[in-house]
Structures are given as structure tokens and as C-alpha cells.
Structure 1
Amino acid sequence: MQVGESPVWRAQENALYWVDIPAQKIVRLRMDDSARTEWLLPERVACIAFAQGSGLIAGLETGVFAVTLPEAGSIGTASDEAPRAQVKKLAAPVHAAPDMRFNDGRCDRQGRFWAGTMVQDMSLANPAGALYRFDAEGVLSAPVIGGLVTQNGLAWSPDGKTMYLSDSHPSRRLVWAFDFDTDTGMPHNRRVFADLHHYVGRPDGAAMDADGCYWICANDAGRVLRFTPQGVLDREIAVPAVKPSMCAFGGSGLDTLFVMSIQPANRASEDDGAVFAVKPGVAGLPEPEYAGAL
């Protein structure tokens, strides 16, 4: 796996889904039989969420898409070629710069889909990225938050009234918290929640546990960090990969933390690009699903 992101636990299938961004694939691993299935998409896919009816909603390079995954043979069987996912573009932002795509995204607790954009060449440090909201009526917002270099770390508190957002670019390394209006879907009162200049790594993808604590992957540091709602670091878990990218709770009791990782060009460990499963001693929350029709 090159860039594993957007893990989503699917309880009714006892399966973990995720994406491999440069490979343009959605991947599923079933726990019952360890069967792995991959679906190929026409563009780089960065984030996914299940819809309450059926199908997936996803952030790709050029927009927000509805995605249908046809069943096919699992990887390692006679049907090794990845089947192609069926996609339909729902909305497209006007990107502020060339060569942009969506990055981190998920649904809030009311079922709105959120995703942010970034310039793919991170060396440019271009703050052209923005966070967008796609509501249950199928309307893509104007940029809700702008000036982002590498948008990441989206999460909501258990009551949905606090939103978290990070910028994982080396020049930023910040996690912000916002008061979140659950009725209008608008964040306000932005403040620094965690400054990773004071800790390790860069804040990548995140997960929320049932205690309201925020788990953030510390990219480049081989760690997953847990911050309390007060912004206090109280746990660190090491993983055998330099670049953990995003985590999610899953398993039968939502008590397993699945950690995705990235395989860097100068691969530092044979475990880079792997998926890790950790029992952190706390449980997570079910991942919200998109409330609109696809």
C-alpha cells in the first residue's frame, strides 16, 4: 500500500474499508475470512463515508462523488484484476490553484459530508486548500474554512458540538477546535487545540473515542497521540511505521484502533504502508453515515 487513508469500520460486514490514494483504490478487508477486495476508481480517492441508504460518498480529485462497489472475486483468487467502482459526480468545487484534490473527510454527527482540498505538491506549501460541506440536500458549500495547506484531522466530539481540524503541513503542524452549530453546520470560535511543534510529528488523520478524547496520527514520528477534550496529551502509542496517516475504531466492540500508514519513497521499515490493529483499552464511536440520497 502506498498511501493508506480514510479507514471506516463497517459493522454489518465485520469489515474494514480504506483507500489507497495514488493507487486510486478503495480496499475492503473482511475479518471473518480475511478476504481482501479492491476496487479501482477513475481518479485519486482520498476519503469515503457510507450513506444511510446504500453506497458510498467520496472525495476524489475533481469533486464529491457517489460510489457503488460491485462485488467481485477477492484479491489472491482467480479474479485478481480489481473491479472498477461505479461513480457519479455530485458536486465540484472551483479549485483555487492547479493540481488540487480532496484530502481528509468524513460525516458530522448530523450526516453532512465534509472534506478539504489541498495542492498535491506539498513542497509548494500553498495555502490554497479549503474545507467544504456537502449537505443532505446535495448542496456543496462555499469554502467554510480557507487558507489550509494540507487539510487533515477532521473529527467531532461525541455530542457533535465541537469540531476538530488539523493542518499537517510541516510549516503548520496545528490542530484546531471549533464550537460547532449542529443545526446550521457552521463552525465558529476557532482556537488552537494542539500545537505539535511541542510534541512529535505532524497531525494527520484522527479518530474520536467514546470518552471524547481525540486520537491523532503523528506522521513522521511513528506515533498515535491521544488528547483529552482539554487539549492535554495523555497517551502515546508507537507503531512500527514512520508515517501513520489515519486511524479508526472498529471490531465487534469498537475497541480496536486500526491505524493506516504511508510507504515513503525511502522506505524506512518493512512495515511502512501496512495497517495496524491496536487494543488501546478504550472504545470508539460508530462512524456517522451520509444522510442524503445518492
Structure 2
Amino acid sequence: MHSDASMKIAHVERVEASGRIPAQVGESPVWREAEQALYWVDIPARTIARVQVETGTRTDWVLPEKVACIAFDRNGTVLAGCETGLFAVTLSDANDVTVRRVAAPELPFPDMRFNDGRCDRQGRFWAGTMVQDMAAANPAGVLYRYDAQGLLSAPVVCDLITQNGLAWSPDGTTMYLSDSHPSRRLVWAFDFDIDSGEPRNRRVFADLNRFKGRPDGAAIDTDGCYWTCANDAGVLLRFTPGGALDRTLELPVSKPSMCTFGGRDLDTLFITSIQPATGANELDGHLLAVRPGVRGVHECDYAGLL
């Protein structure tokens, strides 16, 4: 195994108040600047959660089916990747939700759902599918693009087991995608046509078989570096645009799942996590925050209206 670069123990803060029930599978953190709030999901609990970071006030909304990834349109409606498709979700202050399915791809197996999702710099929403039984190692997952006109593409990338790691370089011309299945553990980079939304020239960007953990959700900083949550290894790995590992931040959870930059100066990395099957500690499954010394790139909302 390749030695780790610049190993550091990060000063990590727990964002939620003590006593909160941890998420089973925390995912898809999204920073809402206008609210100074962080949204995320708990997939098996079918929940979208929000915490007002300065006050600690938390609100939860329960959906009719598992929700794995979210984005917002400019009016604050949620675009959510769930089990049977993409949904427009309206969240009320009274914890009520209104859901409407806006796209439903034909899934080749019954036990599938969407997984990781994020908007590109032009506001197109990208999300991939996976077979929920990871032990099956079924490469039936594909990556879709949902454009501002409300059209779902044909599969753009195929043969994915556990799709993850979507991110775009600051100028939007490089797209990143990973497969976090234990048999893959790869991050790819693509040349990205910002006008057509087509990724080309796929190549291996980072092979985590040489490092620690599995490449789960990711974020980009203003240096163009790619931060990936190394699931099962309890660390964040930062790769330069050239694919070199230059920083490793230790975390007090074993299964970090996705990260995003937020805070007033976009200098805080918010990190969701997953409860391990055995041996969970008091922070596993909770929302964490760390200041890594760099700023992030503002993530785009969905460009259409839901």
C-alpha cells in the first residue's frame, strides 16, 4: 500500500446537539448559503434533515421512499434521487412534504435506487443508480443527466457497481466520478464539455487500492483539489488536479460518506457518516465539521424549475 501524504489529525466538531439519534446512512450534504443551513439525508430512514449551523436547530422531513441525493432549484424546491426515480420535493416548516416524480428511468433489477448526485457548474443534475445489495457486486448501475428542461438522458456512463464521487473542477471542464465498491475503489476523471454536458476521455484519476478505504462522496476546493471520503478508513484524502495524494485528514468516524464545503466563507468541510454494522462509536452516523485550511467552490443549484 502506498504511504499516506501529510497525515494530519483534524480538529473535528460535531454539528448536531448531543442526544440526537445518529443516521444509519448519512449522505448528500448540501450547504444553503441564504439560510446558513446544512441539509443532508439518511437513506434508509427516508429522511431529509436540516440544521441551522449557528443555532443548532434541526428539522427532519420523512419521504415515502429512500432518498439518497438532493439538490435545490432557485426557488428552494428539492430535486431528490430516490428508489423509483427523481422527485420534486417541497419541504414545509411544519415538517410536511409534497412529492412529485419528475423522471423515472427503467431500472433493470427490482432492488435498485439512485445513489450519489450533484449539479454540474451549468446546473444540470447528475445522479447514478446502484443495486442495493452490494454483496451481489452487480455492475447494473449507470449515470444519468437531468437537464434544465426536465429531460433525463440515456445512460451516460454504464457498468457501475456503487456509483459515487461526483464533482467538477472549478472551471467545470473536468468531471470526477468514482465507484466505491470494494472490488473497484477507483476515481475517474473525464474531459467535460460544458456546453453539451458530455464527458469524454475517461481515465483513472485515483486508485484507492493503493491507499486507504473506498472512494465515497467528494468535494472540490478552490485549488482544484479533489477531497474524497475514504469509507472504511476514517480519513479524508485530498488529491491534486494531477492525481497526487497530498493530504490525509484523520476523522473520528470509520465510515465518512460525503463532504461539502460550507460556512460563511466556504472554509468548513461538512462530513456525513455511516454507522458501521458493529463497533460504532459516539460520533459514527453524525454530521461533522472540520476547517482544513482551504476554501471550497460554491456548489450550483439545479438550473431548471421543478
Corresponding position of 2:77: 55
Q: Per-residue deviation at 1:274?
A: 1.3
Q: Per-residue deviation at 1:269?
A: 2.0
| Structure 1: tracts of 5 or more residues without a match | 73-82
How far apart, in 2, do the equivalents of 1:34 and 1:200 lie?
Answer: 33
Corresponding position of 2:3: none
Query: Aligned ranges for residues 61-80 of structure 1 at < 5 Å?
Result: 61-72=83-94
Bigger mean CA offset, 51-60 vs 12-21: 51-60
Corresponding position of 2:7: none
| Alpha-carbon contact 1:15-1:29 (below 8 Å) kept | yes
| Structure 2: tracts of 5 or more residues without a match | 1-22
Name the SS of the counterpart of 1:13 in structure 2: coil
Specify which structure has the bigger relative contact order, considering alpha-carbon pairs within 8 angstroms and separated by 6 or more residues.
Answer: 2
Q: 1:17 aligns with which of 39, 60, 67?
A: 39
How far apart, in 2, do the equivalents of 1:50 and 1:287 lie?
Answer: 10
Corresponding position of 2:285: 273
**So what's the TM-score if we normalise by structure 1?**
0.95
Q: Deviations over 1:242-290 (max 9, x none)?
A: 0000001010100001111000221332211011110100000111000
Q: Percent identity?
A: 68
Q: Per-residue deviation at 1:33?
A: 1.6
Aligned residue type for 1:34: G
Q: 1:172 aligns with which of 184, 198, 207?
A: 184
How far apart, in 1, do the equivalents of 2:172 and 2:285 lie?
Answer: 32
Q: 2:300 aligns with which of 284, 288, 293?
A: 288
**So what's the TM-score if we normalise by structure 2?**
0.92
Q: 2:228 aligns with which of 216, 223, 241?
A: 216
How far apart, in 1, do the equivalents of 2:91 and 2:299 lie?
Answer: 19
Q: Per-residue deviation at 1:54?
A: 3.0
Residue 119 (structure 1) aligned with residue 131 (structure 2): yes
Corresponding position of 1:76: none
How far apart, in 1, do the equivalents of 2:153 and 2:256 lie?
Answer: 30
Residue 130 (structure 1) aligned with residue 152 (structure 2): no
Q: 1:30 aligns with which of 52, 62, 69?
A: 52
Q: CA RMSD in A?
A: 0.8
